């Protein structure tokens, strides 16, 4: 529901203690450098953009848009904030919350996954999907319009909500790509726990082909800890041998001021010089 199409709106200064985060909202609020900058901004310039909220019982309010601003104000000790109060029910507020956040420049796969699920559930609860498959897919397609995703991509993101938190965090960190992560989401909770333990012990993550293998074995009831180990230890498509060094082992050969990137650059230059030297020796 676009908020600019909602007529019932009231602008007020609201006490911080009357405001509550939207229950189970999918977007993370982190105490990082960006938050510190936002705290400094509200301290020096105030809250430039009003929070968007909806009324609850007992003169309380639930935040729809502005969770980071709310947290920054709480950290800064600000007592009241400007807010726009909309007359929305829970489902309409959930849809507005998702739509207002999908345009963010940085959004994690887990945030998008739970956001799409929240919006889908809200639309379903509003009765905007019919039993016909075509209508359901149309609704899913509409869910992804604001995030720039097709209906198939929306469904793939929603599948991520079936992952256990530890594996989902690996997707957020870029350790597991979206496509194999979707395949892994079909594993049972226990199978995912077994996979997590194996990934940690073997210091590796599954490729797409390995994830597909595990999904098929899971569906046939044949995926055990031993099979997971065998699959992860097997060769990956396009796998290449790698040589790796720990930075701590190399630092003694370089000045303390050298960064890891500069150490790597220097090593490559030394190897190139050594290669040229050997080539000249062979030509003599």
- What's the pLDDT at 141? 52
pLDDT tens, position by position, 136-166: 444 555 565 555 678 889 999 999 999 999 9
- What's the pLDDT at 178? 94
Give per-residue burial for 135-160: e unless 16+ CB within 10 Å, then b. Answer: ebeebbbebbebbebebebbbbbbbb
- What's the pLDDT at 131? 43
Q: Is the pLDDT of residue 267 over 70?
A: yes
Q: Is the pLDDT of residue 238 over 70?
A: no
Q: What's the mean pLDDT in 65-86?
A: 93
**Predicted confidence band of residue 211 (pLDDT cuts 50, 70, 90):** very high
Q: What's the mean pLDDT in 248-253?
A: 79
DSSP E strands, the chain: 9-15, 19-20, 51-55, 61-65, 80-86
Spatial CA neighbour of 22 closest among 52, 53, 50, 62: 62
pLDDT tens, position by position, 4-26: 555 578 899 999 999 999 988 88
Mean pLDDT in the chain?
85
Q: Is 22 helix (H, G, I), strand (E, B) or coil?
A: coil
User: How many Cα atoms within 13 Å fall on the side-chain side of residue 282?
Assistant: 6
Q: Which residues are CB-contacts of 138 (< 8 A; sequence separation ≥ 6)? A: 151
- What's the pLDDT at 138? 45
Question: Hey, what are 131's tokens?
Answer: 């039993």
Percent of the chain clearing pLDDT 70 (strictly above): 86
- What's the pLDDT at 140? 56
**Predicted confidence band of residue 247 (pLDDT cuts 50, 70, 90):** confident
Q: 110 or 252: which carries more pLDDT confidence? A: 110
pLDDT tens, position by position, 106-139: 889 999 999 999 999 998 887 654 443 344 444 5
Q: What's the mean pLDDT in 69-95?
A: 92
**Predicted confidence band of residue 2 (pLDDT cuts 50, 70, 90):** low
- What's the pLDDT at 137? 44
Q: What's the mean pLDDT in 265-281?
A: 81
- What's the pLDDT at 108? 92
Question: Hey, what are 126's tokens?
Answer: 């509003």
């Amino acid at each position: 529901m676009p908020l600019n199409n909602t007529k019932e709106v009231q602008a007020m200064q609201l006490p911080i203690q009357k405001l509550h985060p939207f229950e189970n909202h999918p977007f993370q609020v982190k105490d990082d450098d960006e938050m510190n900058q936002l705290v400094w901004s509200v301290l020096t310039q105030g809250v430039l953009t009003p929070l968007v909220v909806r009324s609850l019982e007992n003169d309380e309010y639930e935040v729809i848009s502005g969770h980071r601003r709310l947290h920054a104000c709480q950290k800064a000790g600000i007592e009241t904030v400007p807010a726009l109060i909309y007359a929305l029910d829970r489902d309409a507020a959930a849809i507005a919350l998702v739509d207002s956040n999908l345009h963010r420049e940085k959004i994690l796969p887990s945030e998008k996954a739970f956001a799409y699920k929240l919006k889908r559930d809200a639309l379903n609860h509003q009765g905007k999907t019919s039993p016909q498959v075509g209508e359901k897919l149309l609704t899913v397609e509409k869910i992804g319009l604001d995030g720039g995703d097709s209906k198939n991509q929306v469904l793939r993101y929603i599948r991520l909500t079936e992952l256990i938190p530890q594996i989902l965090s690996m997707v957020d960190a870029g350790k597991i790509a979206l496509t194999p992560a979707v395949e892994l989401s079909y594993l049972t909770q226990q199978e995912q726990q077994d996979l997590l333990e194996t990934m940690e012990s073997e210091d590796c993550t599954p490729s797409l082909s390995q994830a597909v293998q595990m999904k098929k074995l899971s569906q046939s009831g044949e995926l055990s800890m031993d099979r997971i180990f065998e699959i992860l230890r097997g060769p990956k498509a396009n796998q290449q041998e790698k040589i790796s060094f720990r930075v701590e082992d190399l630092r003694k050969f370089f000045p303390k001021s050298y960064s890891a990137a500069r150490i790597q650059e220097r090593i490559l230059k030394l190897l190139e010089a050594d290669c040229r030297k050997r080539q000249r020796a062979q030509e003599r």
